[in-house]
Structure 1
């Protein structure tokens, strides 16, 4: 794995309607992510945070049935350009969220550097909604669909190309809350999904081995998009949309360790840490622990 990496924070909370997740990047930094990575002998560049504009009270916050569309699109455009620059400079991009809508910008900036980018979507949710299927209009439930070229033109055309990824190059891990429209899209596209049912039956070791084998000769890079609500809320309480029955802390560490050993991961993001809903920054500390495992920390 690239030993030079750049951290970029995205204090975005406009993709949903609960405040606090904009403080996620600060919470993860406070939990010691930079110090931890320095101990692992990485060269670190902290680029600070993307500036996110906020709508005024007078502005209409729902456009085309999408909450804060203008501001979410602008923030993701800025993120996409920054991530593009990071990769062009030969660095590994590590993006800290913010809500999961920031994946729209991450994948836009990353995918242009690959012919066949793979994506591991580690999440309780499929994030495959659009304005036509979303019950809420929250864009943080849409980034995977947007990256597949499905959604509002202001989102799918960031950096002036689409789609960013192909359905056969996506694997969802840990899903347990999927809307009807998302189920239909999964059937239509043939997206590979490991629900909690499959993970419980097969075990995380088998699931990750299958995922690594699936990507080995198929892609030229793999992006990890890890939503902390993929973990069970007992382990990660500080998230905006917790879903019981999730992945354990130990299962998640094993997944990260196996990904590190595979040497497949070329970019990563950790999202949806909400310090307001957390317990003594527990979820941010868990994010740092998982990042450390992904980048090679071992017990011996």
Structure 2
């Protein structure tokens, strides 16, 4: 965690609302690099990967902008793979959440090559488990978990070199509160573990995170995919698809702090920041605060007791 690479992916080609293409610049402006360097990290900003413009076209065969989404994810895959191969921790700055297909496929390939187990923690208000046959919109930021677990277009499901890129049992979805009917059936059928907001309310964030992190050990590579609409929209207005009733400021920090306690973070996505909808940079600033907690910021010296 002391050698970190920032990789921007400035596109909203998979999203329903234009604007998160400005997310990487907003995260940099909010001081992400300086915040990481405060912890003694050596940070390399790799700049932005490139890809095609969004054609703003209707869906074709259930997919909106599939060629463009594929091109962007191949670029992200290559960039993240290069940093992982160099022994660095890549942070992908989105951009919309379809880009996680590329970053997590790279992590999956890296884990196969190094004999590690990949665990994906998917923080989101939405399940992102749509397919071409059940999607209400065709927007591909609503499909990445389905693609990564083996259901989707051939150009993307095989990006990691194996299908599925991630076994469904190794994906933990946290904070869900807006799930389409078709997704509910698929999540159940594929046995994806979901900690939705009702579950967090009933058992508490701490216990839910303990369950999501159960079994993580020294051979685990944790990939955190943080969609900022995971947060309650009262504290994170700068997202394209806000949903009321999300985690509070402190609950979100607790999630990040518990991940930091494992010491197993291997890669990170920060996605769906839409500066055009933000209020006085509130969401980008909060995103940087959460990253600080993810990399070990705490009020007091943490002493772990058995």
If the length of structure 1 is used for normalisation, what is the TM-score? 0.95
Query: 1: CA distance between counterparts of 2:218 and 2:40?
Result: 30
- Report what 1:281 is aligned to: 281
1:63–1:160 CA distance, 2 compared to 1 (3 A): farther
How far off its partner does 1:55 sit?
A: 4.8
Give the alignment partner of residue 66 of structure 2, picking from 69, 72, 94. Answer: 69
- The residue number in structure 1 matching 2:27 is 28
Distance 1:23 1:167, change over 3 A: same
Matched, 1:114 2:111: yes
Give 1:249's aligned residue.
249
- Show the counterpart of 2:170: 169
- Counterpart-to-counterpart distance in 2, 1:104 and 1:163: 11
The equivalent of 1:51 in structure 2 is 50
Pick closer, same or farther for the CA change 1:277–1:266 going to 2, 3 Å.
Answer: same
Q: Give the structure 2 partner of residue 297 of structure 1.
A: 297
Q: How many residues align?
A: 296
Decide whether the 8 Å contact of 2:158 with 2:165 is kept in 1: no
Distance 2:186 2:55 in 1: 35
Spell out, residue by residue over 1:33-57, the C-alpha distance to the aligned partner (whole angstroms, 9 max, x if none).
0111111110000001111211557
Inter-partner Cα distance in structure 1 for 2:7 and 2:63? 26
Give the gaps of 5 or more residues in structure 1: none
For the residue of structure 2 that corresponds to 1:283, the secondary structure is helix
Once the two structures are superposed, residues 199-231 of structure 1 have per-residue CA deviations (whole angstroms, 9 ceiling, x without a partner) of: 011111111122222x32596211100100010
CA contact (8 A) 1:55 1:61 kept: no
Please provide the CA RMSD for this pair: 1.5
Aligned to 1:212: 213
TM-aligned CA distance change 1:258 to 1:55, over 3 Å: closer
Give distance in 2, aligned partners of 1:56 and 1:270. 24
Structure 2: runs of 5+ lacking an equivalent: 301-306
Contact 1:77 1:159 in 2 (8 A): no
Work out whether 1:84 is the aligned partner of 2:75: no
For the residues of structure 2 that align with 1:55 and 1:14, how far apart are their CA atoms? 5
- Superposed CA deviations along residues 116-152 of structure 1, whole A, max 9, x for unmatched, are 3110010000100011110000000000000011011
Correspondence for 2:15: 16
* Distance in 1, Cα, partners of 2:49 & 2:64: 20
In structure 2, the CA distance between the partners of 1:121 and 1:82, relative to structure 1 (3 Å rule), is same
Residue 125 of structure 1: aligned partner: 126
How much has 1:159 moved relative to structure 2?
4.6
The answer to whether the 8 A contact 2:217-2:264 is kept is no
- Please say if 1:154 is aligned against 2:162: no
Residues 138-179 of structure 1, C-alpha deviations (whole Å, 9 max, x = no match): 000000000011011122122543211001111100001111
Asked if the contact 2:13–2:54 (Cα under 8 Å) also holds between the matched residues in 1, the reply is no
The one of 82, 94, 100 equivalent to 1:97 is 94
Q: 1:61 to 1:52 in 2, by over 3 A?
A: farther
Task: Give 1:190's aligned residue.
Answer: 191
